[in-house]
């Protein structure tokens, strides 16, 4: 997967490149809008991450010219402003997502993966398996080690989310938004409690733990192959 990061703030740019590279992406970095446009037109990227405020061309200009040139690569905007009109402008121009600075890197990573997956049109699975845990999405049933696990509706949704995005660290805000439709940061520890309860049912009786905590960032489901 090849990404282009256009960010004029050197520190942010470097960290983004490092973080994304370590997450397994192939990352090019440019510092001006003009370079971003040039790269995006001449090379094939899977995703562009554009800062709105850049010297030369701003992010919106780059996007406009890119779309005019017939490139429909997904674009994620990074912006320090969060005025409503900014969002509307970005989305009207065909941006696929935006993040307001300061943002958590785990949040960016989650959004990047969502956008890349959207392009692939992931196949609709009805059953999923990780280690000895089997989940039937149609019947809403989970079985681990041959033993049926009783889950509430929300616990099942949480498990499904973790499973679908196995190997990814999911920020708490993303979990709250996807499972409970809470689309704002709440300063309570509801997610911790929910994950703790799910763990009690999924992991406590087994030596191989599937749900992992990425401290300060979120939760992840994974198992060694």
Partner 1 sequence: MKHLSLTARMSLMFMSAVIAVLTVAGLSFNMLSQHHFKMLDRQALVEKLESTKHLLNNARGEASLSEELPQLRALLGAHQDLAATILASDDTVLFSDPRAVEVPERFRRANEQNMWEWQNGQHMYRGMTAQISVADQPEPLTALLILDVTNHTHFFDTLQRWFWIGLIISALVSAALGWVVARSGLKPLRQVTRVASGMSARSLQERIPLEPVPQELQQLVLSFNAMLARLEEAFIRLSNFSADIAHELRTPVSNLMTHTEVVLSHKRDITAYEENLYSNLEELKRMSRMIDDMLFLAKADNGLIIPEQARIELADVVYKLFDYYHLLAEERGIELSLTGTGQAQGDRLMLDRALSNLLSNALRYTPAGKTISVLIRQAADSTTFSIENPGDTISSEHLEKLFDRFYRVDPARREGSPSNAGLGLAITRSIIEAHKGRIWCTSAAGLTGFHIELPHSR
Element of type H or E holding 79: strand 75-79
- Interaction with partner 1 in 76-105: which residues (CB under 8 A)? 82-84, 100, 102, 104
Span of 29-37, 45-53, 69-77, 182-190 interacting with partner 1 by CB under 8 A: 182-190
Residue 180 sits in the site that holds partner 1 (CB under 8 A): yes
Q: Tell me the β-bridge partners of 6.
A: 30, 50
Q: Tell me the CA end-to-end span of the chain in Å, nearest whole number.
A: 22
Cα–Cα distances in Å, from 182 out to 1, 25, 164, 168, 190? 31, 30, 20, 20, 11
Query: Are 76 and 96 in contact, with CB atoms under 8 Å apart?
Result: yes
Number of residues interacting with partner 1: please give it, by CB under 8 A. Answer: 25
DSSP, collapsed to helix, strand or coil, labels residue 219 as: strand
Query: Does residue 207 interact with partner 1 by CB under 8 A?
Result: no
Q: Does 193 help bind partner 1 (rule: CB under 8 A)?
A: yes
169 binds partner 1 (CB under 8 A): no
Which one of 6-14, 23-31, 49-57, 183-191 is the stretch in contact with partner 1 (CB under 8 A)?
183-191
The site for partner 1 (CB under 8 A) is made up of 82-84, 100, 102, 104, 154, 176, 180-190, 193-194, 197, 215-217
């Amino acid at each position: 997967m090849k990404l282009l990061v256009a960010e004029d703030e050197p520190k942010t740019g470097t960290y983004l490149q490092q973080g994304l590279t370590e997450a397994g992406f192939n990352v090019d970095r440019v510092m001006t809008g003009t370079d971003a446009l040039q790269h995006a037109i001449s090379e094939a990227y899977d995703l562009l991450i554009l800062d709105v405020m850049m010297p030369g061309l701003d992010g919106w200009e780059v996007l406009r010219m890119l779309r005019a040139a017939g490139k429909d690569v997904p674009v994620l905007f990074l912006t320090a402003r969060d005025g409503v009109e900014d969002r509307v402008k970005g989305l009207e121009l065909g941006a696929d997502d935006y993040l307001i600075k300061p943002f958590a890197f785990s949040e960016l990573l989650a959004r990047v993966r969502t956008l890349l997956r959207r392009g692939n049109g992931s196949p609709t699975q009805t059953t999923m398996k990780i280690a000895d845990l089997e989940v039937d999405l149609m019947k809403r049933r989970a079985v681990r080690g041959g033993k049926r696990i009783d889950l509430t509706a929300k616990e099942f949704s949480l498990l499904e989310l973790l499973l679908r995005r196995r190997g990814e660290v999911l920020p708490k805000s993303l979990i709250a938004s996807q499972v409970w439709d809470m689309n704002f940061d709440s300063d309570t520890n509801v997610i911790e409690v929910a994950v703790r309860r799910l763990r009690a049912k999924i992991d406590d009786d087994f030596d191989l733990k599937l749900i992992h905590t990425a401290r300060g960032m979120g939760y992840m489901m994974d198992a060694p192959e």
